[in-house]
Amino acid sequence: MKITEIIDSKMPSITEWLEKTGMPNIQEFRQEDNNKRDRLEILNQTIGINYDKPIKLLATDISQNTEKFQQILKENGNDKCALRLSPIVKDLPKLRVRGKTLIQNLEWFKNLDINPEDYKAEIIPHNDNTSFSGIILINDLGIFGEIVPGPHWQLTQGFFENKPLIFSYKNDLWHFSYIEPTIQKVLTSVLESLKVENLELQKELTEKLAAKFNEDQQLKGYFEFVVWPPDNNISFIDYNRVLYEKLKNSDYSWNDPGSKLAGIPASPGKAQGIVKIINDPTKDSLTTDNIIVCDMTTVEYLPLMAKAAGIITKQGNILCHAAIAARELGKPCIVQVGNKISELKNDDKILMNGTTGLIEKITP
């Protein structure tokens, strides 16, 4: 998928993905997502991490063109940003637009069919020239994640211009999908920024955020971050505790398969079934013994993912929205099979292992 197709189309949030899976505690998750920058502000004030600090206001400031908003528009109108509306009223959806100037984003706002009194607003910094983006999970088993050159949507949506470096740390051993010193240096800096050696600060974060720490005194959680020029400082864009609780016992470690037909395991479990290559999820159908094989799953695939025995994709990554949704559905999933995926044909009988990433053809 071309970059312009990603940017110009709607990119569903992780909340939208999980809501469609029937996740039972979706309201708790939605609240966690809506308030993520409040938590990042506490981390900023407590341990000094950088984050994409927004300008905060009410949606009524925009709709009523208050003096506060007029000043914001004067100072930031031509700056690229994301405009994010988070509901004050329960059960309403989060709304957002990004990648355009604030003046351009106002046209989007004016066309919304909402009651502005139901929403608070955030104007969030945006940079078209992101150096690196990453997702990292620090859980009870280790440290897992991925970093990619370029914009962050590649990791959440699973489509790439450059292949992400996927990493795992378990039992005192690091494993990288490939070696790239610059990216590994970014990872080291991220982990250093999440290390809290001061016990008083740990106590403060535990009281304010119900924070948890691993044996190396790193803050546990699901984190997203970007590295923006010109200073190339790390800027966090998410700290999610609910997602951490869901993934706290998830093991994303894997071994190099060598020349075997394999990818990177993204959701555990084994499935034996019949290959069904899906090109159009809105038109193609399958049965419960089919294993989806495709370039990458998008949110339109969810009805098929819920029905299929398993999922295998050419692209993707271990913590993209689709992989997390596969775990929520309890479906084994293997990502980043790459060009070897062409070895799988319709009606092939296969055994896939979402714990190791191996795919075996079963001969009659």
Residue 261 pLDDT? 96
pLDDT digits (tens, 9 = 90+) for 47-99: 999 999 999 999 999 999 999 999 999 999 999 999 999 999 888 888 999 88
Mean pLDDT of the chain: 94
Residue 256 pLDDT? 81
Residue 93 pLDDT? 86
DSSP 8-class letter at 261:
S
What residues in the chain have per-residue pLDDT under 70? 1-10
pLDDT digits (tens, 9 = 90+) for 192-239: 999 999 999 999 999 999 999 999 999 999 999 999 998 899 999 999
Is residue 278 within 8 A of residue 284, CB to CB? The reply is: yes
Residue 66 neighbours by CB under 8 Å, 6+ apart: 60
Residue ranges of domains in the chain: 35-125, 132-247, 264-361
The DSSP line for 98-137 is: EEEEHHHHHHHHHT--S-GGGEEEEEEE--TT-SEEEEEE
Residue 2 pLDDT? 45
Query: Architecture of domain 264-361 in CATH?
Result: 3-Layer(bba) Sandwich (3.50)
Residue 151 pLDDT? 93
Residue 259 pLDDT? 84
Q: Are strands 95-101 and 132-138 parallel, antiparallel or unpaired?
A: unpaired
Q: How far apart are CA 73 and CA 283, in angstroms?
A: 45
Count CB atoms within 10 A of the CB of residue 26: 16
Is residue 81 within 8 A of residue 102, CB to CB? The reply is: yes
Residue 6 pLDDT? 44
Residue 363 pLDDT? 86
Structure-block tokens of residue 50: 């950088």
Give strand ranges (E) for the chain: 55-58, 80-87, 95-101, 119-125, 132-138, 143-149, 165-170, 173-176, 221-228, 233-240, 264-267, 270-277, 290-294, 310-313, 333-335, 349-353, 359-361
Radius of gyration of the chain (CA): 21
Q: How far apart are CA 65 and CA 121, in angstroms?
A: 13
